[in-house]
Amino acid sequence: MYTIGLDFGTLSGRAVLVDARDGAEIAESVFDYPHGVMDEQLPSGLKLPPDWALQHPQDYLDVFAHTVPAVLRQSGVAPADVKGIGIDFTASSPMPTTYDGTPLCFLEELKDEPHAYIKLWKHHAAQRQADQINETARQMGESWLPRYGGKISSEWFFSKLLQILQERPDIYAQIDRFIEAADWVIWQLTGLEARNTCTAGYKAMVQDGDFPDRAYFRALDPAFENVVDEKVGREFAELGSKAGELAPQMAEMMGLPAGIAVAVANVDAHVTAPAVKATEPGIMVMVMGTSCCHILSSTQLGEVGGMCGVVMGGVIPGLYGYEAGQSAVGDIFAWFVDHAVPLEYHQAAERANLNLHEYLEQEATKQAVGEHGLIALDWWNGNRSTLVDVDLTGMLLGMNLATRAPDIYRALIESTAYGTREIIEAFDAQGIEVRELVAAGGLPEKNALLCQIFADVTGRPFKLSGSAQAPALGSAMHAAVAAGIYSDIHAAADKMGKLKDGVVTPIAENQTVYDKLFREYKTLYDYFGRGANDVMKRLKAIKHEALS
């Protein structure tokens, strides 16, 4: 018996065909989105303002058309032996549709309207609306706000929908359903609209089974009073349950039998926890790629400053699932390699038969902790936790004429580890235990120095996923539960979950130096992040004026 997990990322979607008996990954296929991330212009060439990030829903349908037939061909597995399919997605990446699920951007008259497209998770142009959502909630004493660390992000569901209402009320009026891309994909697979509890809880302010009341939405904007009933809906589907059965048209496109189980959608980071056997309290799962999501389950309910949310059953049934995150990790390293490394290092990497990341890692590994004399703030794409402020920007301090590219590369890695430690300390302050770290994703797979630095900076043992495609594996595991192969996700994790042998343990002498460096990071973090010096925001305002 087999299941298929599909992981929809920022730049591509991938399918993994998994043996449900033991989690063996039989075949995988990746499809790069033809439209990619639209952060400069629409397909027509229409220019987008700063801080926009859109995607095209056709790309997601193309993932199904290309990857599922590919894994069937590669594996030789008979389609009749595939019993279920599951998906995970970046979030919050919501989209406007008609009543039947047709994306507004598919309509000829709206193809050049930016608000008709999917607002990708890193769409930050709704910061003004997020500020309004937060201030109104504070003024009204809304009890749900502390469940999100005291701040709703511009990256989340209602910030983006309120932006449409306030900037283009005519487009807002044409929206019949505003839905997470994850749930829209399930709608396409089954013909049924099923909104998952995970994105509803973490990204759409659903706590204890319901949204904020109508009076709150009315206070944001009178036209927003009935937004839930008019545009969203109040029914949620539990993780691991069956959303429906694969519809004949989609089955034909993918080469699968119609009627197989389709699991309720999930979020890429959250679905990774069972894939790395993190089904018990106290294990922080870090899905590390372009950004980093931190997922933690606990028996305790706490209000952790700056977290992205806490939801009962949001990760593992019966446990409170916490989410925090960093808006850029791999993106920071990629920025440096793509834009700021001198030619001599490119040439040296080529001579060593290494890519530039590998070469810089090799050179940075030769350094003692603190040797480069640098410290950085990891805010190249804003701060998701614990400050929840997309208008913050990156900083590098301590450079002189002897500073070299490997120094900066190492300092950037360290900055992301400091950001994770800041998140862990916020949990510690509320008595929410973080015993160990488990990392999944491309970054820890490729960068041993990063793994050691994270262990040293946080003082926690650092384990690695046994799968290079952990989110897709997690989705395949949820498909196995939805198909009735396993009774629950604990049973599926026991048989299908994977961890690599070995643990990266903290080095005591490194910890001592990193404790000193983290105190310096924390000073800068508070100074630039908590209002003492808003120079980053002033510079950003000047930039926007220059571009307008």
**Residues 511-523: tens digit of each pLDDT:** 999 999 999 999 9
Q: Which homologous superfamily does the CATH classification assign to the domain defined by 277-328+426-496?
A: ATPase, nucleotide binding domain (3.30.420.40)
Cα–Cα dist 497/500, whole Å: 11
* Contact status, residue 151 vs residue 391, Cβ threshold 8 Å: no
The span from the first CA to the last CA of the chain, in angstroms, equals 57
- pLDDT of 234 above 90: yes
Return the structure tokens found at 28.
């995988």
Long-range contacts formed by 399-403: CB under 8 A, 24+ apart: 399/374, 400/373, 403/372, 403/373, 403/374
Neighbours of 132 (CB within 10 A): 18
For residue 199, pLDDT beyond 90: yes
Please answer whether residues 189 and 265 qualify as being in contact, where contact means their C-beta atoms are separated by less than 8 angstroms.
no
Tell me if domain 2-266 and domain 277-328+426-496 are identical in fold. yes
Q: Examine the pLDDT at 547 and tell me if it is beyond 90.
A: no
Query: What is the pLDDT at residue 548?
Result: 79
- Name the residue type at position 78: A
| Average pLDDT of the segment spanning 490-494 | 97
Predicted TM-score (pTM) of the model is 0.91
User: Per-residue confidence at 290, pLDDT binned at 50, 70, 90?
Assistant: confident
pLDDT at 245 over 90: yes
pLDDT computed for residue 441 by the predictor: 85
Statement: residue 315 has pLDDT above 90: yes
What is the predicted pLDDT for the residue at 179? 98
Burial class (CB in 10 A: 0-12, 13-18, 19+), 513: middle
| Phi, psi for residue 163 in degrees, rounded to 5 | -60, -45
Q: Using one digit for the tens of pLDDT, what is the confidence trace for 69-85?
A: 999 999 999 999 999 99
- Cβ atoms of 118 and 54 within 8 Å: the answer is yes
Task: For residue 218, name the pLDDT band (cuts at 50, 70, 90).
Answer: very high
**CA gap 35, 404 in Å, rounded:** 36
Q: Output phi, psi for 423, to 5 deg.
A: -65, -45
Mean pLDDT of the chain: 97
**Domain 2-266 fold:** Nucleotidyltransferase; domain 5 (3.30.420)
Q: Give per-residue pLDDT as tens, 352-395.
A: 999 999 999 999 999 999 999 999 999 999 999 999 998 999 99
State which H helix or E strand residue 119 sits in: strand 118-119
Question: What are the structural domain ranges in the chain?
Answer: 2-266, 277-328+426-496, 330-416+517-547
Q: What's the confidence (pLDDT) of residue 335?
A: 98
43: pLDDT strictly greater than 90: yes
For 435, other C-beta atoms within 10 Å of its C-beta total 12
Q: How many residues does the chain have?
A: 548
Confidence of residue 289 (pLDDT cuts 50, 70, 90): confident
Q: Give the pLDDT score at 355.
A: 97
pLDDT at 66: 98
Enter the CATH code of domain 330-416+517-547.
3.30.420.40
Beta bridge partners of 170: none
Residue 525 pLDDT level (bands cut at 50, 70, 90):
very high
pLDDT classification of 196: cutoffs 50, 70, 90: very high
83-96 tens-digit pLDDT: 999 999 999 999 99
Residue 172 has a pLDDT of 98
User: Any residues with CB less than 8 A from the CB of 217 and at least 6 apart, and which?
Assistant: 224, 225, 226, 227, 228
Instruction: Report pLDDT for 445.
Output: 87
Q: What is the pLDDT of residues 335-355, one digit of tens each?
A: 999 999 999 999 999 999 999
